[in-house]
Amino acid sequence: MTTEECKNDALLVAALKIDSHEAFVKIFHRYYADLVRFTARFIPDKSTCEDIVQEAFIKLWTNRKRLETDTSISSYLISLVQNLALNELRHTKVKMQYQDMNHEIILSLSPEEHMFFSELYGAYETALAKLDPEVRETLLLSRQEKLKYAEIAQRLDISVRTVEARISKALKFLQHNLQIYRVLLFITLCACNFL
């Protein structure tokens, strides 16, 4: 990066910190295409690459007040995009493992078991939908994407304590709403000679 580009970045960061939409648009136009190409090194799907880069720009705008004036915009955005791409890869891997495991389980179920677990899953989805959106998102990042609390905190720009509180709230809510299914699950397992 040339000295002129560094000065330019410093001016753009300073303008961004005082909520300049014009500075944000300049940064977007300057780096968007390069970041999409960079993301394509990790993620083969162009649409997903574009989503990741857009999320990086949203984070840039959200965190603009915390930027240091000497921040290298390109390094900052590359770091954001790289982390988001790695999160996407982790999520995809977990999702594929989960789908494979579910497929094996479904094939081994009797019709009665299949009906019970379908009903249980429906009740779980219904209970999940009743959670506050922030609480639900935090729980899904923890349980489905298998992110650590610190990773969730960083991704959502909240404290680790807030992550802990949200997950605790979600689990208590789900436990309360799915309590009847614990008894039914026990009865089903006994009836199927799984115990």
The pLDDT tens digits for 10-46 are 888 889 889 899 999 999 999 999 999 999 988 888 9
Polymer length in residues for the chain: 195
- The arithmetic mean of pLDDT across residues 169-173, rounded, is 91
Residue matched to tokens 């497929």? 103
pTM (predicted TM-score): 0.50
What percent of the chain stands above pLDDT 90?
A: 37
- pLDDT score recorded for residue 3: 47
* Separation of CA 60 from chain center: 17
The fold adopted by the segment(s) 109-191 is Arc Repressor Mutant, subunit A (1.10.10)
The token pair at 124 is 């779980």
Domain spans, the chain: 3-90, 109-191
The pLDDT tens digits for 110-166 are 676 667 667 777 888 888 899 999 999 999 999 888 889 999 999 899 999 999 999
The fold adopted by the segment(s) 3-90 is Rna Polymerase Sigma Factor; Chain: A (1.10.1740)
Backbone angles phi, psi at 183, to 5 degrees: -65, -45
